[in-house]
Amino acid sequence: MTNDKLTETDASALADLYKAKQTWSERLLKAEGPTSFTARGAASASAPAQNVVGVGVGEKISGGQLTGVMAVKFFVRVKYPASQVTKAEALPATIDGLPVDVEEAGTFRAFLPNPKAKWRPAQPGSSVGYREPHDAYRMAGTFGAVVKKLGVLYVLSNNHVLADENRLPIGAPIFQPGLLDGGSPSTDGIATLAAFVPLKPSGNEVDAAIAKANSAALVKKDVLYIGPPNGTATASIGMIVHKFGRTTSYTVGRVSSVATDVTVGYETGNKIFDNQIIIVSLTATPFSRPGDSGSMILQRGTRKAVGLLFAGSTTHTIANHFRVVLRKLGVTLP
């Protein structure tokens, strides 16, 4: 078998590919193994036994382009950079001379929740937002986490998602889904604005606010698709993280900095934040986009909350340190 481009079906070559696929499928895909854990817990390791979710035969992709070369395909949850995979964990580059392709597929699941839908109880990862007092526009951001203070439950998100950049009065209603996603002011209120950390021109550490849940039964702490947070941790460079947000749903990224000062554009003007977390996507798609603001960012594997997403560009995401958010608001994870 050579690597020459196959311009028509080559029965012998395909038979070799399917034979190799069968061998590796039996070797790596075991229903009773770690991959049978709930995907949220098992999704972080680079070892093939945890990371490979499918083995097949298909066209090799290079630089985002189909090559016309048929190969044994390994579908992985996360395509880690070569520098993060040990020799023992690395998938083969070829199998008995047959081409191999590794493609990131995420976790195959029968159900991917719709963050813009109405959720009852409302859950982190779903769309939330306020009502502009003059109905000049409709907006939506992301429900970050359920937090508590003195036994009372609150919705945690950004100041600019719940308090309109310091401008909303305490007691203003918060809706799930946000009005931009079809939420109704008359029926979809789930909380009322309770507190926010004021945004100022410089020296900001967080963009955060909380809204008191109208009743404890209206909210549930489990993040859509990911599950309940397992406490908090401090982000570190190189940490693999994930989030579920209103716009880009489930994404995985890597922390590239935990101490970056940034200038961020807001409706009310630019604001400088100190020592923020910077995250880059592990795939070709962005880790976040507008509307993902407020998403809780968790360490993959441990599900410990490390950040609160609030800003970004087309290539980079910025988050507050989650422990700083909790401290500034005087709340804890339930």
Partner 1 sequence: MASEAAIKKAKQEHSAALLQTPGVCGVGVEQDKRGQFVLAVHLSKDTDAVRQAVMARVGSVPLKLIASGPFRAF
Summarize as ranges the residues that interact with partner 1 (CB under 8 A): 83, 141, 158, 160, 207, 237-238, 256-267, 272, 276, 278, 288-293, 309-318
**From the CB of 141, what's the least distance to partner 1, in Å?**
8
Region for residue 161 given its phi and psi (left: phi exceeds 0; alpha: psi -120 to 50; beta: otherwise): alpha
Say if residue 110 is exposed, middle or buried (CB neighbours under 10 Å; 0-12, 13-18, 19+).
exposed
Token digits for 72? 């044994």
Task: Please give the single-letter amino acid code of residue 164.
Answer: D
**From the CB of 205, what's the least distance to partner 1, in Å?**
14
Q: Look at the chain and count its residues.
A: 334
Q: Tell me phi and psi for residue 162, to 5 degrees.
A: -105, -25
Task: Rank residues 138 and 220 by Cβ distance to partner 1 and give the closer one.
Answer: 138
**From the CB of 150, what's the least distance to partner 1, in Å?**
30
Task: Rank residues 160 and 300 by Cβ distance to partner 1 and give the closer one.
Answer: 160
**From the CB of 31, what's the least distance to partner 1, in Å?**
38
Task: Rank residues 170 and 259 by Cβ distance to partner 1 and give the closer one.
Answer: 259
CB distance 13 to 55 below 8 Å: no
Secondary structure (3-state) at 51: helix
**From the CB of 81, what's the least distance to partner 1, in Å?**
10
Say if residue 85 is exposed, middle or buried (CB neighbours under 10 Å; 0-12, 13-18, 19+).
middle
**From the CB of 137, what's the least distance to partner 1, in Å?**
14
- Alpha carbon dihedral 136, 137, 140, 141, in 10-degree steps, equals -70
Secondary structure (3-state) at 50: helix
Task: Rank residues 151 and 269 by Cβ distance to partner 1 and give the closer one.
Answer: 269
CB distance 307 to 320 below 8 Å: yes
**From the CB of 321, what's the least distance to partner 1, in Å?**
13
Task: Rank residues 236 and 283 by Cβ distance to partner 1 and give the closer one.
Answer: 236
Task: Rank residues 22 and 268 by Cβ distance to partner 1 and give the closer one.
Answer: 268
Give the span between the Cα atoms of 333 and 164, in whole angstroms: 24
Task: Rank residues 184 and 236 by Cβ distance to partner 1 and give the closer one.
Answer: 236
Give the span between the Cα atoms of 147 and 333, in whole angstroms: 5
Give the span between the Cα atoms of 302 and 144, in whole angstroms: 17
Task: Rank residues 188 and 207 by Cβ distance to partner 1 and give the closer one.
Answer: 207
Token pair 């993040």 is found at 223
**From the CB of 320, what's the least distance to partner 1, in Å?**
12
